[in-house]
Amino acid sequence: MPKTNPAQFIQEVRQEAAKVTWPSRKETGVSTAMVFVMVIIAALFFLLVDQILQFGIRLVFGLGG
């Protein structure tokens, strides 16, 4: 593996960073909102599944009140 000096490495890193397409502020906001919505949906789903399993276990073992 050929060795490169630090200056050449920094130059190559800057060239690669210049190729990156960064998202706009709007795209970032929409993506963030979508993540929050999906987290809430997942939390509600697991809450519902947990409640159903809890009810079933209490029913089977006669612990319901």
Query: What is the amino acid identity at position 31?
Result: S
Q: Report how far apart, in Å, the C-alpha atoms of 33 and of each of 6, 22, 27, 41, 61 are.
A: 41, 18, 10, 12, 42
Q: What number of CA atoms fall less than 13 Å from residue 31's CA on the CB side?
A: 6
Element (H or E) spanning 37, and its range? helix 25-61
The count of domains in the chain is 1
Residue 26 lies in a domain: yes
The domain of 23 spans 6-61
Instruction: Give the predicted TM-score (pTM) of the model.
Output: 0.65
Confidence of residue 3 (pLDDT cuts 50, 70, 90): confident
Q: What is the pLDDT of residues 5-14, one digit of tens each?
A: 889 999 999 9
Q: What is the pLDDT of residues 24-55, one digit of tens each?
A: 999 999 999 999 999 999 999 999 999 999 99
Residue 1 lies in a domain: no
Residue 28 lies in a domain: yes
